[in-house]
Amino acid sequence: MSILITGGTGFIGSHTVVELIGAGETCVIVDNFCNSKPVVLDRIEAITGVRPRFYEADLCDEAAMERIFEENPDLESCIHFAGLKAVGESVAKPLLYYQNNLISTLTLCRVMQKHDVKRIVFSSSATVYGDPISVPIPETAPRGLTTNPYGETKQMIERILTDLYRADTEWSVSILRYFNPVGAHPSGLIGEDPCGIPNNLFPYVTQVATGKRAFLQVFGDDYDTPDGTGVRDYIHVVDLAQAHLKALQRARKVTAVECFNVGTGTGYSVLDIVKAFEAATGRSVPYRIVERRAGDIAACYADPQKAENILGWRAQYSLDDMCRHADNWQTKNPNGYDT
């Protein structure tokens, strides 16, 4: 039997494919390279010795998805990563995000249902919690207070999958709410390859440290946090990938809708990250404090106890590991996959 991985050549998807193959699973990847590069397939093969079956297709193309399921009758589950993911872009282009992220998911679920594949692990986000009432955030915290269209699509898809299960309790739906995935595979062969100016802190830090950018912009130092800069829960991407394997194993045993926070449970400020990166790598990260960024919140970190109790999953990599592996990736791939 095999697993369909949508968006499987992206940052989190590629690392998850590596972990799945390492656990003896067979993967079928579908991606349109909107946020990734074909060379990722070569890198996955270099790490694992296995080249996954691959289809270049858009999830919104129902005919293409039908063909994939027809040609792979052994598909038994799906891990759904595919989707547009830049918060700022979603604010500027809300219709694009609603059209792409929702229609692709509806199309995927319709084809899965037709082929009696009713097991899905969904890549959600801590953005569904909006500006949290308190931290750490449990899965029972209020949702629906999202601050941007990207987060709203995650919230809507969670509702779609929940309603799908309510209508047909043969479905097994596992929803993973990520916090801040960072780092890279220890080999340095796969990692985060942002297009243009990075939206996320870690790739920006690594590009500054290696001289690709002059300095890091720190958006605000007057938040209600220990040093005034924003606090987030950073999780190593390999730990996150392992959480998908655990969620898949769980989904094979139960029919339900279950939501899990995937984070370390520890919040680090922007300046904490700068200091940790400098200590781990010996590189300097010059920075400048600038105005707050619209939509940012003071603090957001997880209560990950449910994932440990039910999935048997817990983050293993340290902040030092995250910094060293991110630096290793950037050093070996100064221009990302275009190197």
3-state secondary structure the chain: CEEEEECCCCHHHHHHHHHHHHCCCEEEEEECCCCCCCHHHHHHHHHHCCCCEEEECCCCCHHHHHHHHHHCCCEEEEEECCCCCCHHHHHHCHHHHHHHHHHHHHHHHHHHHHCCCCEEEEEEEHHHHCCCCCCCECCCCCCCCCCCHHHHHHHHHHHHHHHHHHHCCCCEEEEEEECEEECCCCCCCCCCCCCCCCCCHHHHHHHHHCCCCCCEEEECCCCCCCCCCCEECEEEHHHHHHHHHHHHHHHCCCCCEEEEEECCCCCEEHHHHHHHHHHHHCCCCCEEEECCCCCCCCEECECCHHHHHHHCCCCCCCHHHHHHHHHHHHHHCCCHHHC
Pairwise CA distance, residues 236 & 86, whole Å: 19
Cis-peptide into 334, omega within 30 deg:
no
Catalytic site residue 150? yes
Pairwise CA distance, residues 324 & 58, whole Å: 35
Which two structure tokens, joined as six digits, stand for 281?
């790598």
Active-site residue among 129, 150, 204, 317? 150
Pairwise CA distance, residues 92 & 106, whole Å: 23
Q: So which residues are the catalytic ones?
A: 150
